[in-house]
Structure 1
Amino acid sequence: MAKAVMIIILSVIFLASKINCQEAILHISNGSTSMEYCIVHNHSWTPLSETLDAAALYPLVNLTSTVLCDTSGVSPEAVRGKALVVMRGDCDFSQKALVAQGLGATALLIASNKTLITPTANESEYAKVHIPLALMRYRDFLDAQQVFGEGMQGRLYAPPHSKIDPSIIVMLLISICTVALGGYWSGACERDQLSSGAAGGGKGESKADSGDISLYSPLKVVIFVALMCGMLVLMYFFYNVLVYIIIAIFCLASATALFSCLDAVMDKLGCGTVSFSIRNCTFSVRSLILAAVCIAVAVVWGIYRNEDRWIWILQDLLGIAFCLNFMKTISLSNFKICVILLSLLLVYDVFFVFITPFFTKNGVSIMVQVALGPDASGEKTQGNMVEVPAEPQAPSEKLPVVMRVPRFSAWAQNLCGMQFSILGYGDIIVPGLLVAYCSKFDVWINSTKKVYFVSCCIAYLVGMIVTFAVMLLSGMGQPALLYLVPFTLITSALVAACRGEMKQFWAGTTYEVLDSSREPLLPEGRADGSIGGESC
């Protein structure tokens, strides 16, 4: 019984998640050959069949020499029972449709050299039109003519796609795996440093000597967040200039991060290295090869960064390495700093996503505008009103600050232009810093079960699931930190409270700063087991 109820609930959710999009497909064939093209229609006005098999087959008649605002020059016998292809302009869509309908046509395709938009009309005109109506690119019709000649036949259909796209699952896996790996790496490095300190005479290594950057002062955290706000505002107003600077910085930083990650993997696998010297300078063959590979990957991404079809794979690879290295390099010294930083960034995220649309000219949030580039104002909303370029557009530069995975189920939409699910690096790094702190605290208290690290990772996973669920139900992008920060902070605090370790968890690291007069949490000379092979 329970299984049956669960199946029914899942079926209802799946069906409810199906949406009818305004992008559709024109399937043209001549018997042996077929091709598909993007069209834009209005589902609430002239709905189309959802499958190709159910779609009616129409002979296509080329009337692109006319805009069909009246019946002059058109013979009813030549168009009756056929689909007409006419040019856009001079009169409303509804007028063209009524003229075509009066001539006995069974469908109307309007070829356009302008941006394709969802066809609309006055409310009084909707009930008068009974034939399918859609816009197509004029260049697509010319292409079809070259391929098929005059004996073209077409089917119009609009397959609905599910809001629950497989790309969401891929994005979820990328985020949780990156956070978990980054936290594990930070904990392993911390264990190595403590072990090295114990072996060297019982004195822990300071953060100043470890190569990491530690945020230990609330004032530094406030300044850090203020700089982020300032940078975001500058990007909004000077996007066209700063975007190239950010791209160059990303290429350098991501190549360095990828090298750090691959070098750590090589150490973990026990791969040896061969060194040679030139003029008293020692070089590692492994390091040179890794450096060449990482630089090549970053350069390839930089050259082909606007190639949507496949470059997202390299961007995600570099993004994962960047997030991992950031989580390992930036250290939060105690839970107090974690609470301050994550809370401020939560307010920052919500403000720039939900509040700033009230102040911008186009009603798009500053966060979305910066993340998606200057074309963000044309972003599709719920598939209701869409805009599809009629001609190939010069790619606009986008900041490499998001993970991108193409929507696998939106085949009709991909004919009109690639669609992506995106997740900002900040939605991985910010909670990831808390996960890394929890992993280090497990090392400090010698927790063999890694209870803080595991519980924080689970909280992050639940927070991501809630984020995607709210996004699907609301139909709009969400500031992920609004859900991730409370889940991870509250979970970590509850674990510390239940274990009676809140005082230590709140106070933090054993070597917070060089001039700290606090007693360390761990007694000097304590040696925990080392995890060999990590590059720290």
Structure 2
Amino acid sequence: MRDPVVLLFGTLLVRQVLGEHGMAHFSDKDKNKGKDYCIFFNSQWARLPQDLNKASRLQIHDLTGSVLCSSSEVPEGGFTNRVPMVLRGNCTFYEKVRLAQINGAKGLLIVSKEKLTPPAGNKTQYEEIDIPVALLSYSDMLDISKTFGKGGQVAMYAPNEPVLDYNMVIIFLMAVGTVAVGSYWAGSRDINKRYMKHKRDDGAEKQEEETVDVTPIMICVFVVMCCSMLVLLYYFYDQLVYVIIGIFCLAASIGLYSCLCPLVRRIPFGKCRIPENSLPYCHKRPQVRMLLLSVFCVSVSVVWGVFRNEDQWAWMLQDALGIAFCLYMLKTIRLPTFKACTLLLVVLFVYDVFFVFITPRFTKSGESIMVEVAAGPSNSSTHEKLPMVLKVPRLNSSPLALCDRPFSLLGFGDILVPGLLVAYCHRFDIVMHSSQVYFVACTIAYGIGLLITFVALAMMQTGQPALLYLVPCTLLTSLAVALWRRELHMFWTGSGFVKDVPQPPVALAPINCTQTPEQPSEEALSNPELQHAAVSNQTEDPPPLQEAAPPKDAGSPSE
């Protein structure tokens, strides 16, 4: 499936209708040690200060054995100048906070085992209540009890979060760099495959992987599979997430092998082959260096699979495997015409917008299916995340990083889909000798589209489908370049433009001449200098690549 975008850029504060993330700073009586915990509060009940130093430190009253839904659960003496901490229960938030306020509480912490949702009420209730009320996760409550016991203090505050995080720069560089390198590699490899077949050696291992030309039928099947897999993940996330993780490990190891293979072939060691055997892969007797490379790539994927939830360093391994996978896909999958590029990008454009903006109308929670699947459902028992993203941890020091948003994410689909168009542009440049104008323009357009996505995300404060901005930028830019160069028909169909490429000179023999081009004349045989010239002409190197045009009936730059 194609994972979303920047959809889930965890660096931004995604505000819901009535809820905001804040912090609850717990400390002991002596204030020697303190720790922040994420809370979810409603600013319409009461606003919180932005600075911890301006927040009131109040005594916690641990009442987590009660839900505080009736006055009988209020202890003797009430909650004077304290903050009760109670379980969620079945009564409304208003009933809880009203009981707490009339009994002298200065705030209320509600412990929830479910997803943190903003405590809501009507306008009259908001005007009646003037103490802050916030939700705290059950796991944080257990840690608080273990760390601070029954006599801790709490100060609730809501710090401002930076609109953008510096890790967006790293995400941007990784995405644009992967598209540029993968597309350039795909175009160069395709041309080398067409014109340099006679230079291949070292048997089957020296040959490159086969490419796959995408047809309209394949595009339709692919989109249907994407929709089906996304819906299945929405309903059966806990069962299918491990399937996706396994597929990623396999695909990432293949991609890493493909990327490192050209480098390993330059190593002068390990060229000997393994002995005869009947093993599934080794019966072809691969070189030792290739076999060791295979073991290394599989080992890297296995290490990531085992330690994938180690937030300190596993993200770097995931990004490396993800980039290798994207490079492999860009040089393996090939769009033969601009018509196919347009069809693929437009269909996925509609797919992205539909599952982000339209599906909230049909879900019970009001969340889009795309966001819910990419972030991992809140009710998931596995707490696993889909790996088909590039991720970079937050680089700012905002304490709101604790609120389950420690990473910025970018889905592979937002690299691969526009990247296939950029790769087509590079192949077209090479065949038309256009000094890479299509390739450079489309790569720049991709970078601009990604920047527009970041800006839209910052301004709208909600998840955005990146293809909403990437598809128009890349498609319209490449179309404008084709119009400017008056090559739209050739660029659109992917065929016919090779007819205008200069053909190499062809030597024709006279009509009634009995002498063939391979037979030198008697004068040449008798003259040593002419004889040497004839031999030189016969052993001359083939014409350079730019003059060796393909036959006129060649269908497209990708064939």
TM-score range, shorter chain: 0.7 to 0.9
Q: 2:179, 2:422 within 8 Å by CA — same for their partners in 1? A: yes
- For each residue in 1:282-316, what CA deviation from the matched residue of structure 2 results, as whole angstroms up to 9, or x when unmatched? 54343233322211121122234455564333332
Tell me the secondary structure at the aligned position of residue 53 of structure 1.
helix
The residue aligned with 1:440 is 427
The residue aligned with 1:403 is 390
Shift of 1:460: 0.5
The residue aligned with 1:278 is 274
Match of 1:251 among 249, 267, 272: 249
The aligned amino acid for 1:51 is: D
The aligned amino acid for 2:71 is: D
Provide the C-alpha distance between the structure 2 equivalents of 1:113 and 1:426, rounded to a whole number of angstroms.
34
- For each residue in 1:448-502, what CA deviation from the matched residue of structure 2 results, as whole angstroms up to 9, or x when unmatched? x422211110000111111222233233323322221221122112222222333
2:249 counterpart of 1:263? no
Q: Judge which range, 35-44 or 177-186, deviates more.
A: 35-44
Provide the C-alpha distance between the structure 1 equivalents of 2:326 and 2:227, rounded to a whole number of angstroms.
20
Tell me the secondary structure at the aligned position of residue 83 of structure 1.
strand
Shift of 1:254: 1.1
2:325 counterpart of 1:322? yes
Tell me the secondary structure at the aligned position of residue 545 of structure 2.
coil
The aligned amino acid for 1:288 is: L
Shift of 1:509: 6.5
The residue aligned with 1:184 is 184
Match runs of 1:453-472 below 5 Å? 453-472=439-458
Gaps in structure 2 of 5+ consecutive residues: 1-11, 201-206, 277-283, 505-541, 547-559
Match of 1:338 among 328, 336, 341: 341
Tell me the secondary structure at the aligned position of residue 334 of structure 2.
strand
Provide the C-alpha distance between the structure 2 equivalents of 1:154 and 1:294, rounded to a whole number of angstroms.
49
Shift of 1:65: 5.6
The residue aligned with 2:480 is 494
2:24 counterpart of 1:25? yes
Identity of aligned residues (%): 41
The residue aligned with 2:71 is 70
Bigger CA radius of gyration: 2
Shift of 1:256: 0.7
Shift of 1:356: 4.0
- For each residue in 1:6-44, what CA deviation from the matched residue of structure 2 results, as whole angstroms up to 9, or x when unmatched? xxxxxxxxxx99978234223323332222223332122
The residue aligned with 1:394 is 381
Provide the C-alpha distance between the structure 2 equivalents of 1:137 and 1:218, rounded to a whole number of angstroms.
49
Match runs of 1:139-158 below 5 Å? 140-158=140-158
Shift of 1:210: 5.9
Shift of 1:107: 3.1
Evaluate the alpha carbon distance shift between residue 21 and residue 168 of structure 1 in structure 2; reply closer, same or farther with a 3 A threshold.
farther
The aligned amino acid for 1:303 is: V
Q: 2:21, 2:40 within 8 Å by CA — same for their partners in 1? A: yes
- For each residue in 1:431-452, what CA deviation from the matched residue of structure 2 results, as whole angstroms up to 9, or x when unmatched? 10111111222222334x4222
Q: 1:276, 1:282 within 8 Å by CA — same for their partners in 2? A: no
Match of 2:545 among 505, 528, 532: 528
The residue aligned with 1:303 is 306
Shift of 1:408: 4.7
Provide the C-alpha distance between the structure 1 equivalents of 2:227 and 2:313, rounded to a whole number of angstroms.
32
The residue aligned with 1:10 is none
Provide the C-alpha distance between the structure 1 equivalents of 2:371 and 2:143, rounded to a whole number of angstroms.
36
- For each residue in 1:337-376, what CA deviation from the matched residue of structure 2 results, as whole angstroms up to 9, or x when unmatched? 2223323332333334334444455544444454444x1x
Shift of 1:325: 0.5
Q: 1:304, 1:311 within 8 Å by CA — same for their partners in 2? A: yes
Q: 2:429, 2:436 within 8 Å by CA — same for their partners in 1? A: yes
The residue aligned with 1:205 is none
Q: 1:58, 1:83 within 8 Å by CA — same for their partners in 2? A: yes
Q: 2:13, 2:461 within 8 Å by CA — same for their partners in 1? A: no
Evaluate the alpha carbon distance shift between residue 369 and residue 120 of structure 1 in structure 2; reply closer, same or farther with a 3 A threshold.
closer
The aligned amino acid for 1:97 is: V
The residue aligned with 1:82 is 82
Q: Judge which range, 437-446 or 93-102, deviates more.
A: 93-102
Match runs of 1:352-363 below 5 Å? 352-360=355-363, 362-363=365-366
Q: 1:22, 1:43 within 8 Å by CA — same for their partners in 2? A: no
Q: 1:25, 1:37 within 8 Å by CA — same for their partners in 2? A: yes
Shift of 1:319: 1.6
Provide the C-alpha distance between the structure 1 equivalents of 2:66 and 2:251, rounded to a whole number of angstroms.
56
Tell me the secondary structure at the aligned position of residue 155 of structure 1.
strand
The aligned amino acid for 2:21 is: Q
Q: 2:27, 2:152 within 8 Å by CA — same for their partners in 1? A: yes
RMSD: 3.6
The aligned amino acid for 1:258 is: L
Match runs of 1:127-276 below 5 Å? 127-137=127-137, 140-197=140-197, 211-215=209-213, 217-229=215-227, 231-232=229-230, 242-266=240-264, 270-276=266-272
Match runs of 1:117-132 below 5 Å? 117-132=117-132
Evaluate the alpha carbon distance shift between residue 150 and residue 184 of structure 1 in structure 2; reply closer, same or farther with a 3 A threshold.
same
Q: 2:449, 2:470 within 8 Å by CA — same for their partners in 1? A: yes
Aligned length: 480
Shift of 1:225: 4.2
Evaluate the alpha carbon distance shift between residue 309 and residue 510 of structure 1 in structure 2; reply closer, same or farther with a 3 A threshold.
farther
Tell me the secondary structure at the aligned position of residue 196 of structure 2.
helix
The residue aligned with 1:427 is 414
Shift of 1:146: 3.9
Evaluate the alpha carbon distance shift between residue 336 and residue 120 of structure 1 in structure 2; reply closer, same or farther with a 3 A threshold.
closer
Provide the C-alpha distance between the structure 2 equivalents of 1:431 and 1:22, rounded to a whole number of angstroms.
35
Shift of 1:185: 1.1
The residue aligned with 1:482 is 468
Provide the C-alpha distance between the structure 2 equivalents of 1:486 and 1:233, rounded to a whole number of angstroms.
26
Provide the C-alpha distance between the structure 2 equivalents of 1:59 and 1:343, rounded to a whole number of angstroms.
58
Normalised to the residue count of structure 2, the TM-score between the two structures is 0.74
Evaluate the alpha carbon distance shift between residue 500 and residue 272 of structure 1 in structure 2; reply closer, same or farther with a 3 A threshold.
farther
Shift of 1:326: 0.5
Shift of 1:395: 2.1
Evaluate the alpha carbon distance shift between residue 415 and residue 288 of structure 1 in structure 2; reply closer, same or farther with a 3 A threshold.
same
Shift of 1:91: 4.9
Q: Judge which range, 316-325 or 497-506, deviates more.
A: 497-506
Match runs of 1:380-391 below 5 Å? none
